[in-house]
């Protein structure tokens, strides 16, 4: 699967989760959405860190 598509999908899910968290009425719902947001951010961070590392390799080869 294309990493760019995965990152776009994660970003869209993150946006949707943040909007849902803003609309949540009680603490339990907000906690559930905050855990979802944290997990999505962690997942997106993995791809961004990998991209950063790969960019570093490209710079070193030149």
Q: Where are the chain's structural domains? A: 3-61
Q: Is 25 helix (H, G, I), strand (E, B) or coil?
A: coil
Q: What is the DSSP letter of 62?
A: -
- pLDDT number for residue 37: 97
The rounded distance, in Å, linking the Cα atoms of 26 and 6 is 31
- pLDDT number for residue 6: 87
**pLDDT for 61 beyond 70:** no
DSSP output for 2-24: -HHHHHHHHHHHHHHHHHHHHH-
- Whether the model clears a pTM of 0.85, i.e. scores above it, the answer is no
**Each residue of 14-58: pLDDT tens digit?**
999 999 999 999 999 999 999 999 999 999 999 888 888 887 766
């Amino acid at each position: 699967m294309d990493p760019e598509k995965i990152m776009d999908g994660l970003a869209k899910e993150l946006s949707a989760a943040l909007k849902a968290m803003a609309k949540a009425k009680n603490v339990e719902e907000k906690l559930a959405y905050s855990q979802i947001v944290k997990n999505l951010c962690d997942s997106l961070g993995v791809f961004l860190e990998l991209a950063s590392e790969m960019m570093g390799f490209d710079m070193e080869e030149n």
